[in-house]
């Protein structure tokens, strides 16, 4: 489900649903793990995406919130869900240098070779040898 799925029969977005989705995406950016967990436990889809295809995990990972990433992953979020540009949460975490997020994503089964560029490609681009070793890519 994406935020754009919240349309009525005339194709108009329901403003209340859009407002709620916006608040949830903001919680992911801010790293509010408890609030995110509560929303997901109440039925918000773990793989909710915004208009750019960014998932809640992508937003939390990119902004360096390992606790929020963990809470989302524990509730079924896909660690490899790429956005509309082919970027994965793991590659975003590598780009931003978020080691704790990287470890949380890997523990949840994230594939360092998924996406464009992949986390492996990103680590190579920035000369992060320790991550290449962690990913099993030399």
pLDDT of residue 38: 98
Spatial CB neighbours of 16, under 8 Å, sequence gap ≥ 6: none
Token pair recorded at residue 129: 């040898």
For the domain 3-134, what is the CATH code? 1.25.40.20
Structural domain boundaries in the chain: 3-134
The pTM assigned to this predicted structure is 0.88
Asked if residues 89 and 79 have their Cβ atoms less than 8 Å apart, the reply is yes
Of 85, 93, 122, 98, which is closest to residue 110 (Cα–Cα)? 93
* Dist CA 45 CA 48 (whole Å): 5
**pLDDT tens digits along 62-107:** 999 999 999 999 999 999 999 999 999 999 999 999 999 999 999 9
């Amino acid at each position: 489900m994406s935020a754009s799925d919240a349309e009525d029969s005339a194709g108009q977005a329901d403003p209340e649903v859009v407002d709620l989705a916006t608040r949830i995406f903001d919680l992911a950016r801010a790293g509010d793990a408890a609030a995110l967990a509560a929303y997901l436990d109440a039925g918000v889809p773990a793989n909710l995406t915004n208009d750019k295809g960014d998932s809640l995990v992508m937003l939390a990972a990119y902004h360096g919130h390992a606790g929020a990433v963990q809470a989302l992953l524990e509730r079924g979020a896909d660690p490899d869900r790429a956005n509309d540009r082919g970027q994965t949460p793991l590659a975003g975490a590598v780009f931003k240098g978020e080691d704790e997020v990287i470890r949380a994503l890997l523990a949840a089964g994230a594939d360092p070779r998924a996406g464009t560029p992949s986390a492996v490609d990103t680590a190579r681009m920035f000369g992060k040898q320790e991550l290449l070793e962690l990913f099993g890519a030399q």
